[in-house]
Amino acid sequence: MDDTSKLIKEWFSQRSARWLPGHSTKMDQEAFLRQTMNKRRAAVDRKVITDVQITGSRYVDNEQSIMEVDVIEYIRFLYDIGDSMEHEERFIPHVLTWQRGENEPIDHQQLNEAVHENTELINFDKDAVLTNRDYRFLYDRVLAMKYAERWWNERNREYVNMGVDCTNYVSQVLHAGGFPFTGKMTKREAGWWYQFGSKPDWSFSWSVAHALALLMINHPESFHAQIVDQPENLTIGDMISYDWKGTGQYTHSTVVTGMDANGYPLVNAHTIDSHKRFFSYEDSYAFTPSTRYLFTHFTN
């Protein structure tokens, strides 16, 4: 394993150079997508810092010639945009299949934003009456931002770690900012709530991107929500929902945590843990030309 560990770290170190424009390293699809996105937003990556943590390994054949290795890649981009220097961070899980005698592994991202989380939507009631809603609540964006920054790459143990965790994370941010629970905590298909305790439970809208998006669309007054047409109309603490295939099914959620030099949102997210990522996700494997966004601005 020591030799494999050394090879993996060297491979990731060389791999980090692929992101930079003009480098001779062979560019893969992900790097190509990022450079294409950067050109559109007039940004240039200047430095890429990579660190890796090997979290597990196992042989997958009787001859012990093929090994699978679990790796967490921490990557930080430093880039120029306008007159500013910005940074972005991600934690990316990988499963590498390494065959003895080979210098290059087969790289499988263990998780990605294309993972669907809509399996619990069959009985979701988008028109359900929201009970116990205090319409007078104030959304404290400072507290929401503090929570989003504290937990962008960790899991708060007060909540269940849901694996596909993007909407669970966004809901936690909203609640930290002052959003009160609504709905009966025995009816998962209605309202927006999380029940703590030895047997935690939660509404579909707490953990499922499409359910939360539908609540914002159908009950904007309950959340002081306004659906806006342009991302420039968002601010820190607002929410973006993602429909990767343009079918009307939202399967990813992020929270706005900054604006770039051009006035476009930067977001934090879970699933692939991301910090100050450009909102469009054009450098994600999940992105397609049919991708549609739901921009939700909170007015209080």
Q: Where are the beta strands (DSSP E) in 17-83?
A: 43-59, 66-81
Higher pLDDT, 214 or 136: 214
Local confidence band at 121 (pLDDT 50, 70, 90 cut-offs): low
Average pLDDT along the chain: 89
pLDDT digits 0-9 by tens, 15-38:
888 888 776 555 577 888 999 999
Backbone region of residue 178 per phi and psi (left: phi > 0; alpha: psi in -120 to 50; beta: other values): left
pTM of the model: 0.91
Would you say residue 4 has pLDDT above 80?
no
Taking the C-alpha atoms of residue 40 and residue 281, their distance in angstroms, rounded to an integer, is 13
Q: What is the pLDDT, as a whole number, of residue 53?
A: 93
Answer whether 7's CB lies under 8 Å from 103's CB. yes
Confidence at residue 186, expressed as pLDDT on a 0 to 100 scale? 80
| Residue 110, pLDDT score | 64
**Sequence ranges of the domains in the chain:** 2-109, 141-298
How far, in Å, CA of 252 to CA of 267, rounded? 12
pLDDT of residue 112: 67
* pLDDT > 90? residue 116: no
Residue type, 83: D
Report whether 212 contacts 192 (CB < 8 A): yes
Decide if 234 contacts 144 (C-beta within 8 A). no
> For residue 123, what pLDDT band results from cuts at 50, 70 and 90?
low
Residue 48 pairs in a beta bridge with 77
List of E strands, the chain: 43-59, 66-81, 84-99, 106-109, 194-195, 201-202, 225-228, 239-243, 252-259, 265-269, 273-278, 292-298
